[in-house]
A and B are shown apart, each in its own frame.
Chain A
Amino acid sequence: GQNIDQPTEMTATEGAIVQINCTYQTSGFNGLFWYQQHAGEAPTFLSYNVLDGLEEKGRFSSVLSRSKGYSYLLLKELQMKDSASYLCAVTDSNYQLIWGAGTKLIIKP
């Protein structure tokens, strides 16, 4: 079967750095997405990786290792508004999007 694993919940401190991991086992791979979802709101796109390496966008970075079936989202200089769920999703060989259950990130002052 196809599977995406993410930690259920993480806690971090304002101003710090946090890494949210995502491991995947899918039939083929055609890219990996990260979305952010604040409570009661729509998921919004953060990043897309299809090749190994780093994608940077401001305080957020995403890294992909296809050989390891692994990605992580790095959030720097954490702010209270970063408290949200972070969803990992992988495109398989049939271009179907396989979603993880999401990681709830709690930021404390």
Chain B
Amino acid sequence: ETGVTQTPRHLVMGMTNKKSLKCEQHLGHNAMYWYKQSAKKPLELMFVYSLEERVENNSVPSRFSPECPNSSHLFLHLHTLQPEDSALYLCASSQHRGTGVDEQFFGPGTRLTVL
């Protein structure tokens, strides 16, 4: 257990569906991240939140919409996804903002399949 939980662990959705991924961290950290992990590719940073404010949005398509209602919770809302969006979506947190400063604590991920 890393102190970061994600639900659901697996999700299958059609291209017209709307779903949400949830992440919760129990570590008292100030920064939270969404990553996309595809097979044999480097982790892709999608969004960064610091103290509930979005500080990075790395050219992610608008069909992905993040939400951070408080410093412990992070959501990723999904709509009209494409099959190429199928991947493992990882949530992470760290004490401070800045992806390259502190150790990051990752959740187990949501395996997303888009049909």
Q: How far is the CB of B1 from chain A (nearest CB, A)?
A: 9
| List of A residues within 8 angstroms of B98 by Cβ | 95
With both beta carbons as reference points, the residue of chain A lying nearest to B38 in the complex is identified as A101
- Which residues of B in the span 25-41 have a Cβ within 8 Å of any Cβ on A? 40-41
Nearest neighbor of A41 in chain B, beta-carbon distance:
B108
Q: Which residue in chain A gives the minimum CB-CB distance to B91? A: A42
Cross-interface CB contact of B106 among A43, A90, A102, cutoff 8 Å: A43
Partner of B107, one of A33, A42, A89, A97: A42
Chain B residues in 8 Å Cβ range of A89:
43, 100
Does A33 lie within 8 Å of B108, measured CB to CB? no
Give the docked Cα–Cα distance between A48 and B100 (Å).
Answer: 11
Q: Is the CB of B4 within 8 A of A97?
A: no
Residue from A4, A43, A95 with most neighbouring chain B CB atoms (10 Å):
A43
Contact with A along B96-112 (1 / 0, CB 8 A): 00111101111111010
Measured in the bound complex, the distance between the Cα atoms of B106 and A8 in whole Å is 22
Q: Counting chain B CB atoms within 10 Å of each CB, which of A40, A87, A99, A100 scores highest?
A: A99
**B105 — which chain A residues lie within 8 A by C-beta?**
42, 45
Bound together, the chains give a CA A102 to CA B44 distance in angstroms of: 13
Is B61 interfacial (CB 8 A cutoff)? no
Q: Is A44 an interface residue (CB 8 A)?
A: yes
Contact between A33 and B42, CB atoms less than 8 A apart: no
B-chain residues with CB within 8 Å of residue A98 when the two chains form the complex: 42
* Chain B contact residues, CB within 8 Å of chain A: 2, 4, 40-43, 45, 90, 98-101, 103-109, 111
Cross-chain pairs A/B with CB under 8 angstroms, 23 sampled = A4-B42, A30-B100, A33-B103, A42-B4, A42-B105, A42-B108, A42-B109, A44-B2, A44-B106, A45-B103, A45-B104, A91-B100, A95-B99, A95-B100, A95-B101, A96-B100, A97-B99, A97-B100, A97-B104, A99-B42, A99-B43, A101-B42, A102-B40
Beyond A8-B40, A91-B99, A96-B100, 12 additional contacts (C-beta under 8 Å) are A4-B42, A30-B100, A30-B101, A42-B4, A42-B109, A43-B90, A43-B104, A43-B106, A48-B103, A89-B43, A89-B100, A102-B40
